[in-house]
Amino acid sequence: MLLTGHQRIALEAMANAIRQSIIEMLVSAGSGHTAGPLGMADVFTVLYFHTLRHDPSNPAWEGRDRLILSNGHICPVLYATMAHAGYFPTEELNTLRKFGSRLQGHPHREFLPALETSSGPLGEGLSQAVGMAIADAMDKKAGERRIYCLMSDGELEEGQTWEAGMLAGKWALHNLVALIDRNNIQIDGFTENVMPLEPLADKWRAWKWHVLEVDGHNVAAIAAAFDEAKSVYEKPTMIIAHTIPGKGVAEFERDFHWHGKPPDAEQGEMALRELRATAQQISSEPE
């Protein structure tokens, strides 16, 4: 189902608000990752405000879809999106990475029970998601909910990911939808220099996945991809989302040095000014 103009603008505005929250969180924490969270804000917005079956007032609802974040270091975008969706007050976001906070530097389910898994070591998320999808298939629940797994492109260097991908194709896990953040960077450079991944889409097709490639900043295209995945019944779906690391702040965009560092107070204020200006542009868009 295509988004209406009103829905598209609302999602773009929410993604911008989430980006602003990310900047504020990172400045307050004085540590954390910048590029990935900003780059994935549009994907998370579509998931939580369009695609997922979930209930912030009842996080343990049995019928909810499952969301697995494999690259846990981009958790600022997960926390910010959950807060804006109503899982906890947005004021709590500024406790990121602070002693005693529920918002750990990598997602920790024992601290924040609304999370589905704890994550940090890269390459494990798809294996966890495949296990959940197989369990649902064995329990005859594969038609009741979907398992979503979000991954980075850099973590595809972990062999465990490929083992999970082959297994999902063998079992034809149609209740599994994975998305790769194809931003082409990792902590020490560009992925194609560190360990080339291309032809990436062909690899997943060879393992019997339904593969889609989208602009990871076009909320209508992202929503359409997730909607299409719901109509695929014979295999798992892989969405390769082409994103710009640091999206929304010109100084941060496409610079791998921002992978693992936060902005300081001055850089944060600069980023917020740019994002606020973008928010005004979004609000004036015709529907």
- Count Cα atoms within 13 angstroms, Cβ side, for 15: 28
The pLDDT value given to residue 231 = 94
CA distance 242 to 273: 25
- The one-character DSSP state at 133 is H
Cβ burial, residue 4 (10 Å; 0-12/13-18/19+) = exposed
Whole-prediction pTM: 0.96
Name the E strands within 114-162: 147-152
* Tens-level pLDDT at each residue, the chain (287 residues): 789 999 999 999 999 999 999 999 999 999 999 999 999 999 999 999 999 999 999 999 999 999 999 999 999 999 999 999 999 999 999 999 999 999 999 999 999 999 999 998 899 999 999 999 999 999 988 777 999 999 999 999 999 999 999 999 999 999 999 999 999 998 888 899 999 999 999 999 999 999 999 999 999 999 999 999 999 999 999 999 999 999 999 999 999 999 999 999 999 999 999 999 999 999 988 88
Instruction: Take residue 175 and report the two structure tokens written for it.
Output: 């209740």
Answer whether 41's CB lies under 8 Å from 15's CB. Answer: yes
Domain boundaries in the chain?
A: 5-283
At residue 150, the 3 state secondary structure works out as strand
Residue 162: half-sphere exposure toward Cβ, Cα within 13 Å: 10
- pLDDT for 44-61, tens place per residue? 999 999 999 999 999 999
CATH code 3.30.479.30 for 5-283: no
The answer to whether the CB of 155 falls within 8 A of the CB of 123 is yes
